[in-house]
Each structure stands twice: as structure tokens, then as C-alpha cells.
Amino acid sequence: MMELVVAPACSALSGTVRVPSDKSMSHRAVLFAGMANGTSLVRDVLDSADVRSTISALHWLGAGVRVLGGGPRGLVLEITGWGDRGPTQPQGPVDCGNSGTTARLLMGVLAGWPVRVTLTGDSSLSRRPMRRVADPLRSMGARVDMAGDGTLPVTVHGARLSPVAYASPVASAQVKTAILLAGLRADGTTTVTEPAPSRDHTERMLPAFGVSVSRESPLRAAVAGPVALTAAEVTVPADPSSAAFLAVAATLLENSSLVLPDVAVNPTRTGFLGVLERMGAEIVVRPAEPMGTEPIATLEVRSARSLRATRVPAEEVPSLIDEVPILALAAARAQGMTRFEGVGELRVKESDRLEAVRSGLEAVGVPVRAGADWLEVTGTAALQGARLSSLGDHRLAMTWAIAGLLAAGRTVVDAFEAVDVSYPTFRDDVEALLGRRLA
């Protein structure tokens, strides 16, 4: 495991950086291209461990993937999909690594084809719940075998599918997408209704691949099958979740001035901006030319004079679930007590993020309390350096690194290599913006 030592910041965070491409959209663009008839061109694909898991899975399932180039903006891929012939039977299990998106979306993709595929993952992914996807797929006619506690390994026995009108008990873009992708193989209309809006990248991107998606409201999406995807050209914008970590760092470090171009500002992803603005952050959102159907903007961030506590209600959480750890760190420097409600989903992420945030903030001297699905953070004037662990969770690794810049004394982040899941160049970018090494 890699250990990162962080010294207190002695300079502002200043400059311009294009954060890595969006992870959620990269997964979908690569996967949809692998499902399509013809050859797609996908630009600026996030080159991270999670997305590599999806690319590897496509290879084992019979899609052709060529890397045409790469650079700071991401990979350029030429992908020839399996199209009407369907995925091929792999010789062994398909390893999804640490990627819940890969595993859950593939369950939906495979459910309607005559294949038998076992999906596996690392120890962290193998603790994450898969029953929330398996149950609706079973109702459509697929056979899905799981470990006794509803986790990986999962074996999908594809079958002829019937459409379903599914009322999801959770707002989850992964669950929604898996069901819609299975619905592409069903004879009729498959509908998913959610209790709150979740990320809608699937609904926005499928039409580029020739599939119409009906959206009666932000809570409901439907596809009519059977239908095949056709090849497309897609460019992936910068990841708002990755941008959030640098935006909070610039907000909290005195005299900072940061510019983040090409950031996706899809309203299902930008809840963190609303929370930071309520707290008193100085962030200007300058709209730019859209990328396909995804709105794009440049974020300009200056350090805040002071921050005040706020309440984050449950209905706001689906639009910022991945940013709760870094928002909790912002709350640690705000005046008053900030309460996050309806955040129980954090307990089934790469780690028990809710408990990890509570214990990590407590370790650096922040008054914090947590329940089954809530978190309360009381702002404090000073943080103290401590030894913290990412627990193999990329969001925690970045949060604790930024905490180290704010804390007195030395902070050590164990298992820092977890950042490779979504932001492999995080350390390099932070050091460039600081003008010095972290330690």
C-alpha cells in the first residue's frame, strides 16, 4: 500500500487545471459502444482503474477495443461492438475489479442474451449489494445467482425477457441503467420510476446510439424493445465529482484562485455547488458549449472569507452523494453545525463511507456525530494532523489529502493509491496548483 505524507499548506491553490473526464459517462460511452452495431469513436475517456475494468470486460465479451491515443484529457478509443450477434460466452469469470458500475450495468446488459456469465470483483466490491439489480432482472425473466448475502460473485443466465414497470425503492442511476439496458432486449416498454432524481447520463447518451428514451418526468424513464444500438461518436467532459475536491480545497485555502474548465454541470450532478454556495463559497459557473446533450461550464473558485453551516436534506443527496466526504470537510471549517440527511447509501459504497468520514474527522479534531443515515459536523477553527486510511476508497483518499493541507502538523494517508479509481493525477494536479510538493 502507498502512504502519502501531507504537510500543512503554506501557499494558495492557484491556476487552471482540467480535471479527469467523467467516470460515469466514460463507463457508459464505452459500454454502449461495445453493445452497438458498427464501430464507435469515443474521445477523452477517463483512464482509471474502474473504467479499465469496463474496457477489459468488453474485451472478454467479444467487443473490439483499440486505443488510438491518450493524454491528459483521457483515452481515444475505437470500439467495434458485438451488435446484433450479442456478447460471446467468455472462457471464465469477468473481473469487475473495484467497479460497481461495471458489475451492475453488465448484469442488465447480459440478462437478455443466451450466455452464462459470472461477474467477480475485488474484496471491496464483493461486499457491495447486488440484489437491488438482481431482483428486477429476475422479474423480467433472467436467472441471477448470487452469494448468500446478495453480493458478488454473481452469475447471470441470460433469457428471453419480458418488459417491466419497476418502482425502485432507491434513487440509483446504476439500478435504473441496468434495468433500462435489459429492457432493450425485452418485447415491449420497460419503465423505471424512482423516489428522487438520480444521474441521467444514460437517458441523455442512449439517443446518440440510436435508442429513444421516454422521460415523462425527472423520476421516470422508459425504453421500448427490442432495439439495437448503432455506432456513435462521443466526447466525455470533465468530471464534476473530481472537480468538487479541488473546488473545496480552493474554497478553504486562503488567497486561492482556481479555474476548472470543461466541467459537466448536469443538474443531477451539481448538488455540491448549491451546498457550497449556501455555505458562502465564491464559485462562478460560466456556461460553455455543450458536449452532446450534456451541459458544460468553467468553474472559477476563490477562497471564501468565511463559511456558515447548512442543512443538506435527503432529497438533495442523490445529486451529491459522491461529494459528501469533501462537503463534510468543508463543514468542518464552517461556523455552526451542518447536518446531512438521508445519506445511508454511503454505508454501501467502496467502504462504509459514513462511518469512515465520522471517524476520520474525529481523528483530526472535528466534533462529529453520525447515525444510520445522517451526519452532523460542527465547524472548528483548527484541524490536527493524524494518520488516516482511505480504506481503499478513492473519495476518502482525496478528502484526507486535502484535510492534511488544512491541519497543523503532519497528516499521513494510508492506501492513497485508491485515487487511481477516478483521479490518477490528483497528487500531480494539487502539487502543480500549490507550486510545491505535498510533503
**Is the omega angle on the peptide bond into residue 153 within 30 degrees of 0, that is, cis?**
yes
Q: Which of 14-28, 41-55, 342-356 has the lowest mean pLDDT?
A: 342-356
* pLDDT tens track for 185-244: 999 999 999 999 999 999 999 999 999 999 989 999 999 999 999 999 999 999 999 999
For residue range 257-266, list pLDDT tens digits in order. 999 999 999 9
Task: Note the pLDDT of residue 255.
Answer: 97
Q: In this structure, what DSSP letter does residue 70 have?
A: E
Provide the CA 198 distance to its chain's centre, in angstroms: 12
Cell of 387: 494518520
Distance CA 60, CA 103 (A): 14
What pLDDT is recorded for position 222?
Answer: 98
- pLDDT per residue as tens digits for the range 414-434: 999 999 999 999 999 999 999
Give, in order, the Cα–Cα distances in Å from 259 to each of 20, 234, 331: 14, 25, 22
Task: Tell me the average pLDDT across 26-48.
Answer: 98
pLDDT of residue 130: 97
Cβ–Cβ < 8 Å for 423, 46:
no
Q: What is the DSSP letter of 376?
A: E
Confidence of residue 349 (pLDDT cuts 50, 70, 90): confident
Q: Between these two residues, 72 and 45, which has the higher pLDDT value?
A: 45
d(CA 78, CA 67): 6
What is the grid cell recorded at 91?
Answer: 472462457
75: alpha, beta or left? (left if phi > 0; alpha if psi -120 to 50) = beta
86-131 pLDDT, tens digit each: 999 999 999 999 999 999 999 999 999 999 999 999 999 999 999 9
Backbone phi and psi for residue 417, each to the nearest 5 degrees, phi listed first: -60, -10
Domains of the chain, each with CATH number or no CATH: 3-20+237-434 (3.65.10.10), 23-235 (3.65.10.10)
Element (H or E) spanning 434, and its range?
A: helix 426-434
Q: Given pLDDT bands bounded at 50, 70 and 90, which one contains residue 348?
A: confident
Output the pLDDT for position 181: 98
| Residue 381 reports pLDDT greater than 80 | no
Catalytic residues: 322
Q: What is the pLDDT of residue 147?
A: 87
What is the per-residue pLDDT for 240?
A: 98
Higher pLDDT, 70 or 364: 364
C-alpha–C-alpha distance, residues 157 and 323, integer Å: 36
Element housing 75 (H / E): strand 74-80
Q: pLDDT (tens digit, 9 = 90+) per residue, 282-318? A: 999 999 999 999 999 999 999 999 999 999 999 999 9
Residue 193: per-residue pLDDT: 98
Residue 81's pLDDT band, with cuts at 50, 70 and 90, is very high
Render pLDDT for 136-183 as a digit per residue (tens, 0 to 9). 999 999 999 998 899 999 999 999 999 999 999 999 999 999 999 999
Q: Nearest 5 degrees, angle CA 182-CA 186-CA 213?
A: 70
| Residue count of the chain | 439
